[in-house]
Amino acid sequence: MDASPQHAADAAVTIVLEGRQDAVNAPALRFRLTDHIEAGQVDIVVDMAAADFVDSAALAALVQGMKRCRERGGDLSLVLPIDESAARVFRLTKFDQVFRVLPAGEARVA
Amino acid sequence: MSAPAITVAADLLSLREVGPWLHTWLRAAGEEVASLGAPMELGLQELCVNVVNHAYGEIDPGVDATIDLALERSEDGVTCVVRDRGNPAPVDLLDQADPTEAQVHGYGLMILRQLTETLRYERNGDENVWTLTFAVPAAV
């Protein structure tokens, strides 16, 4: 399943990513992040709790989004995949220490 | 056990065929190596994306743009040989991936190096041949 946006009460945009996040759908994620950032929405939460596979192409899209948000005074925060295997790419690249990581469930809108 | 070899078209969508094939083979190969499924799938994805984007990135039309993958059970894990007929990999490609720091480019091979026990590349005629070995983690 691809990204679907939600808007949290604190005005941060939440993008929920489920299933496989790889080089096939990374361009769509990149475009979606770009749309938000160019619209001035630079506080973004990407909730990947239900992602079951993440490759470096998806990671690169997130890193680019994070950098652009931070350049504009915001941030891109992550809820890491609950599936340890899917979260592996963040650990191997040490980006789990670069992103602001939120606990699963915190990003969801009630 | 599923076939120990598969050929996929060198496009990003076709790479999604690799994971199900891999997991089926590993499950049939035994419980011990089945645990390698997730790291192997990520490693092969990273390598094959690299092949699609770089080896076949600017290739002449008419070239057999496919990727061959073959699995073999080894004494302490699984060996996978990946072949393509694309452009040769840069000789220093494997040296560019520094696993000690986060970087904007080159995540794929950095990840692959960490997931594999050994990673070898050679140009054999008109083929790129990558040999990856994945070791079963030692029991604690």
Which pLDDT tens digit goes with each residue over A20-50?
999 999 999 999 999 999 999 999 999 999 9
**DSSP designation for A39:** T
Cα(A15)–Cα(A87) distance, integer angstroms: 17
Q: Where are the domains of chain B?
A: 5-135
Specify the pairing of strand A100-102 against strand B118-124: unpaired
- What residues have CB less than 8 Å from B29, skipping those under 6 apart? B1, B73, B78
Mean pLDDT of A36-65: 96
**To the nearest whole percent, how much of chain B has pLDDT over 70?**
85
pLDDT tens by residue, B82-125: 999 999 987 666 655 554 444 444 788 889 999 999 999 999 99
For chains A and B, CB pairs below 8 A equal: 56
| CA closest to B107 among chain A residues | A56
Complex ipTM value: 0.86
Contacts of A78 in chain B (CB under 8 A): none
Please provide the CATH number assigned to the domain covering A4-102.
3.30.750.24
**What would be the CATH architecture of the domain defined by B5-135?**
2-Layer Sandwich (3.30)
Q: Do A88 and B42 touch (CB under 8 A)?
A: yes
What are the residue ranges spanned by the domains of chain A?
A: 4-102
Whether A23 and chain B come into contact, CB under 8 Å, resolves to yes
CA–CA separation, B55 vs B84, rounded Å?
Answer: 8
CB B76 within 8 A of CB B136: yes
Question: Are the Cβ atoms of B19 and A53 closer than 8 angstroms?
Answer: yes
Helices assigned H by DSSP within chain A: 26-38, 56-71, 84-92
